[in-house]
Amino acid sequence: MAPKLTDQRDIDFVLYEQLKVDTFLASDKYKLFNKKMFDMVIKEAKNLAVKEILPTYTECDKIGVSFENGIVNVPECLRKPHKLLVEGEWSALTEDPEYGGQGLPVTIAQAAMEYLTGANYVLTTYPVLSHGAGKMIDLFGTPEQKDLFLKKLYTGVWGGSMLLTESEAGSDVGALTTSAKKRDDGTWEITGSKIFITNGEQNLTDNIIHPVLARIEDAPAGTKGISLFIVPKIWVNTDGTLGEPNDVVCTGVEEKMGLHGSPTCSLSLGSKGNCRGFLLGKPNRGMEIMFHMMNEVRLEVGTQAFTSANLAYLHALDYAKQRLQGRSIEKFANHGANQVPIIRHPDVKRMLLKMKSYVEGMRSLIYYTAFCFDKKETAIDEKEVMHYSNLVEILTPLVKAYSSEKGFDVCVEAMQVFGGYGYTKEYPVEQTVRDCKIASIYEGANGIQAMDFLGRKIAGNKGLMLTALINEIKSTILTTKAHDNLKELAIKLEAVLILFETTCKNTSSALFSKHMASAFACAHPLLEAAGDIIMAWMLLWRAIIADEKLDTKESAFYQGKIKAAQFFITTIIPVTKGKLAAITYENNPAASMEEHLF
């Protein structure tokens, strides 16, 4: 029997016991919903994921995409579930019903997407990118642009992409050379080439809408001179019908380590001098607009890594319960003793508990970030709105970077549980490792996320984003101290939180001194330490709830929450303390290392 796709009981725990999302029902925004409707959406997502999407996971990896004469053929097995995603309007769960949406809270949509993404992330990239392109048009488009594109993008009828990267302008987006020139009819002529474009060409949808970053003639240098354009693969007439193919040509697809069912394309724009596009928003505001999509996609990437980790953990747990190997440690000297399931061995228990801690902590972190989006939208007090806005801002790079790295680590740990079998294609964990790795690289490599975390989120806005986060953690620590059997865990976390706060202050101050390079050399270690502390916070928060329910019929479930918090805070957080102590924000050897010494 195959292991379950995810842990529905833990999803319910986070939604209704930790975050209490049913309290949203009292707000005007969600007064037409009820808890039964929330649960129904998640249940339908589960059914679709298990019955239709999960069976494509291994098959689409084996088949992969093919590229012939400028056309990308997607694995045929994805066609039916993609059609079901579109028909069910699953990519528009949080949007206005006027544009095909359901108007749900982001937190509930996150729970549904855990199932859909976890079943096969490759498939969900198609509607996710469609939604992202639609969101920018929703926020910055003209009424005419919304009428032409929005509903078909939100519901995934048309595909979407994101054209930023060029061969000489990857993370340094300001160096791009793609140009835009205004035409007499009010549209823009786009000329240039883009690379590493996820789903830049595919045959699942009748059209693909490309958001393209380009520079208008005489625009300022760098990112301040970049504008954003809507470039359809097939031109869209004013009445919404499809016209002639646009001058957008796929010139190749990458052979990748993973995500074989998702094409990573190189695109040529305007090679025949006839690539047309619409300006989105104001000139030279392209990066500001694109960041709305980037932040959304970064949360999706964190979800991708988390669901990969969750799936790998559940496979490893199932295998460990069934795989017989060796004698129990208590009967090790008795060579006649029966073999036991490997879950009985202490080191396997250690690996599984470590994976459980990260997976459950990541679930709470990602759902909590979605919850902050909802709180920001439903709050009526301006101070509360700002508080949750600050939390969203500081948590976004952490969700992307920390989840992608620790999610991958969990996948690797799961492979270790399988032993040699894990390294073969006989078990799916091998694919999970390959598919997960990209999460730390694309949509803003994690080094960029770390620089953003330090330079903008910690040092920016007068430190209010960091203050909002730390105050939330302190509140949980204070509550925990009232629980006798959790008090020591709270004290341990409090000690490392104090060190973290001091380290953040010193490192951000160094940004405005001659030690700026040294400070940025510490950005990633600081982000990693922050992620550890947030994991501990989430697990401690969960443990508080569990501690009050140990006498119920689900005592084993709740005891597992406490064990996860104990494990993480007593074995991982001491290492975090060492990471913080090792941060050298002045005269860092990495910053002073000369290139010729390598």
C-alpha distances out from residue 200 to 159, 229, 249, 252, 586, Å: 9, 15, 10, 10, 44
Q: Catalytic annotation on 443? A: yes
Using CB atoms within 10 A of its CB, is residue 415 exposed (0-12), middle (13-18) or buried (19+)? buried
Residue by residue, DSSP assigns 17-83 as IIS-GGGGGGSGGGTT--HHHHHHHHHHHHHHIIIIITTHHHHHHHH--EEETTEEEPPGGGHHHHH
What whole-number distance in Å separates Cα of residue 365 and Cα of residue 532?
A: 11
Closest C-alpha among 428, 67, 423 to residue 255:
67
Tokens of 338: 């029966």
Q: What are residue 61's phi and psi, to 5 degrees?
A: -70, -40
3-state secondary structure of 226: strand
Beta-strand relationship, 71-73 and 159-160: unpaired
Paired tokens of 355:
């994976």
Tally of helices (H runs) and strands (E runs) in the chain: 19, 12
Q: CA–CA separation, 310 vs 316, rounded Å?
A: 10
Question: Cα-flanking dihedrals φ and ψ of residue 162, to 5°?
Answer: -155, 105
CB atoms within 10 A of CB 562: 22
Nearest to 302 by CA among 128, 423, 136: 128
| The two structure tokens encoding residue 408 | 């991958």
CA distance 294 to 212: 13
Cβ atoms of 130 and 153 within 8 Å: the answer is: yes
Tokens of 325: 């190997």
Q: Which tokens in the block code for residue 466?
A: 């960091």
* Residues 6+ positions from 192 with CB-CB distance below 8 Å: 166, 176, 177, 178, 179, 214, 269, 270
351's tokens? 């690996």
Q: What are phi and psi of 584, to 5 degrees?
A: -110, 90
Q: Answer for the pair 179, 191: CB distance below 8 angstroms, yes or no.
A: yes
Q: How far apart are CA 356 and CA 447, in angstroms?
A: 26
Straight-line distance from the first to the last Cα atom of the chain, in angstroms, rounded to the nearest whole number: 52
Which H, E and C letters describe 549-578, residue by residue? CCCCCCHHHHHHHHHHHHHHHHHHHHHHHH
Give the H or E element holding residue 212.
Answer: strand 208-216
The residue written with tokens 């954003």 in the block is 228
Q: Mark 65-82 as b/e (b = at least 16 C-beta within 10 Å).
A: bebeeeebbbbebbeebb
**DSSP E strand stretches across 60-151:** 66-68, 71-73
Q: Find the catalytic residue in 89, 95, 443, 528.
A: 443
Cα dihedral 326, 327, 333, 336, rounded to 10, equals -100
> 104: closest CA among 8, 205, 10, 15?
15
> Which amino acids are annotated catalytic?
443
